[in-house]
Amino acid sequence: MTEEPGGTEAVIATRALTKRYRGGQLAVDRLDLTVPAGSVFGFLGPNGSGKTTTIRMLMGLIEPTAGSAHVLGLPVPGASRAVLPRVGALIEGPALYGFLSGRDNLVRHDAADPGADPRTRAARVSAALDRVGLTAAARKKAKAYSLGMKQRLGLAAALLQPRRLLVLDEPTNGLDPQGMREIRALVRELASDGTTVFLSSHLLDEIEQVCTHAAVMAQGRLITQGPVADLAAGTRGRLVVTTPDPAEAARVLKERGLTGLVADGDRVSADPPPGEPADVNAALVAAGVRVRAFGLERGSLEDAFVALTGEGFDVAG
């Protein structure tokens, strides 16, 4: 198993991993990525930032132009045959037979695995369906499944065998809020059982809700990586005042030299003051502003991304 600089096991490690397509397009540029064992690792970036290309290289589906990648301590694509049986993957949506039931789709998937014992196939399929909450819909044809059910069936296929690593590419793409919640809950459950989950997404709130670690990609390059809490903590956050007098509060904050003022209903926010926040609160009260709440909100992953890249981000999808 590859080790992180601090001595922790790394389930995925790349060094200067690069992919340049014919025609000169540089999709991934010298990527150094380290995914700690036992983490829920968010691979974050706008559509087109190189996330799926990286995943396809990690899964041995395409060869890198330069650099190296190790998965579960072994080089890929060279040792893909030894690595992939221990990896579950859902990339660019599940491949399903619409005319077959959910259960029969999993039976076919399991039968294609040369290492799967046919004597225990029925039990394995039933357990996978139960794991993703599809037991009641197991006999329904896959073409009648909702998008969320199809995603869950794809996850069930990835979980037919015990997996050291689960790789999910945009697993909540196109789902309604309930479907997104179901997938997130399943990811948390898998992680609690000790599976390392590598989750690609362009949704900042998704990464912040379920991931322990994250890497931020932009235009094929790695911007930063580390524990999610550390990435967000590196930003300054916002000063937020809740008041029935937002216009007067904004005037006082502006007079105090605060910048980045935003008024939204009874909330007025600004960049944190250079001095003591309590002095700002005192100035508001002295000016007759009725302050219902006052405080500093911690920085978010969105704040970190904007600070690092100078760009906005597609938060809602």
Which of 6-10, 73-77, 98-102, 135-139 has the weakest average pLDDT?
A: 6-10
| SS3 label, residue 178 | helix
**Domain match, 35 and 104 both:** yes
Question: Is 301 in contact with 207 (CB distance < 8 Å)?
Answer: yes
Residue 266 is assigned to a structural domain of this protein: yes
User: pLDDT tens digit string along 67-84?
Assistant: 999 999 999 999 998 998
Average of pLDDT values for 165-179?
84
What's the distance, Cα to Cα, between the start and end of the chain in Å? 35
Same domain, 139 and 246: no
Can you read off the two tokens belonging to residue 29?
């540029």
DSSP 251-292: HHHHHTT--S-EEETTEEEESPPSS-HHHHHHHHHHTT---S
Mean pLDDT rounded to a whole number for the chain: 86
| Statement: residue 2 has pLDDT above 60 | no
Residue range 123-132: mean pLDDT, rounded: 93
Both 246 and 151 in one domain: the answer is no
Instruction: For residues 210-237, give the mean pLDDT.
Output: 83
Which whole number is the average pLDDT over 294-307? Answer: 67
CA distances in angstroms from 91 to 71, 87, 208, 259, 269, listed in the order given:
16, 12, 21, 43, 40
| Percentage of the chain lying above the pLDDT 70 cut | 89
**Spatial CA neighbour of 65 closest among 32, 27, 13:** 27
Residue in 190, 237, 225, 270 with CA at minimum distance from that of residue 5: 225
Residue 315 belongs to a domain: no
pLDDT of residue 144: 95
The answer on 242 and 229 residing in a single domain is: no
Q: Note whether 301 and 291 are within 8 A (CB).
A: no
The residue whose two tokens read 């290289």 is: 57
Query: What's the whole-number mean pLDDT along residues 277-301?
Result: 85
Rounded mean pLDDT, 173-181: 79
* Residue 314 within a domain: no
Q: Which of 199, 233, 267 lies at the terminal end of a domain, its last residue? A: 233
Instruction: From 233, 260, 276, give the residue that closes a domain.
Output: 233
In a domain, 310, yes or no: no
Q: Are 223 and 231 in contact (CB under 8 A)?
A: no
Check whether 95 has a pLDDT greater than 50: yes
Query: Does residue 239 carry a pLDDT above 50?
Result: yes
Residue 305's SS3 state is helix
> In this model, does residue 116 exceed pLDDT 50?
yes
Residue 260 in tokens: 């980045």
| One domain, residues 79 and 106 | yes
Domain match, 218 and 83 both: yes
Whether residues 207 and 249 share a domain: the answer is no
Question: Does residue 289 share a domain with residue 199?
Answer: no
Name the more confident of 117 and 114: 117
**Whole domain around residue 263: which residue ranges?**
238-297
| 303 in a structural domain | no
**CA distances for 184 relative to 42, 163, 194, 316, angstroms:** 12, 18, 16, 15
Using the predicted structure, report yes or no on whether residue 1 has a pLDDT greater than 60. Answer: no
Winning range, highest mean pLDDT, from 118-127, 166-175, 201-210, 222-231: 118-127
Same domain assignment for residues 200 and 254: no
Mean of pLDDT values over 249-267: 91
Instruction: Look at residue 85 and tell me whether its pLDDT is greater than 70.
Output: yes
CATH number at 246 reads: 3.30.70.100
The CATH number given to whatever domain includes residue 87 is 3.40.50.300
Please report which confidence band the pLDDT of residue 106 belongs to, taking 50, 70 and 90 as the band edges.
very high
For residue 139, what pLDDT band results from cuts at 50, 70 and 90?
very high
Specify the number of domains making up the chain.
Answer: 2
* Average confidence (pLDDT) over 91-97: 81
Q: 205: pLDDT confidence band, cut at 50, 70 and 90?
A: confident
Note whether 219 and 250 are same-domain residues.
no
- Do residues 265 and 229 both lie within one domain? no
Q: What pLDDT was estimated at residue 295?
A: 84
313 located within any domain? no
Same domain, residue pair 130 and 255: no
Residue 150 lies in a domain: yes
H or E element in which residue 56 lies: helix 51-58
- Our CA dihedral for 280, 286, 292, 293, rounded to 10 degrees, sits at 10
Lowest mean pLDDT among 114-123, 219-228, 308-317: 308-317
Residue 117 lies in a domain: yes
Closest CA to 31 of 3, 59, 58: 58
Query: What pLDDT score was predicted for residue 203?
Result: 79
- Identify whether the C-beta of residue 40 lies closer than 8 Å to the C-beta of residue 197: yes
> Is the pLDDT confidence value at 292 over 80?
yes
Among 202, 217, 233, give the residue marking a domain's end: 233
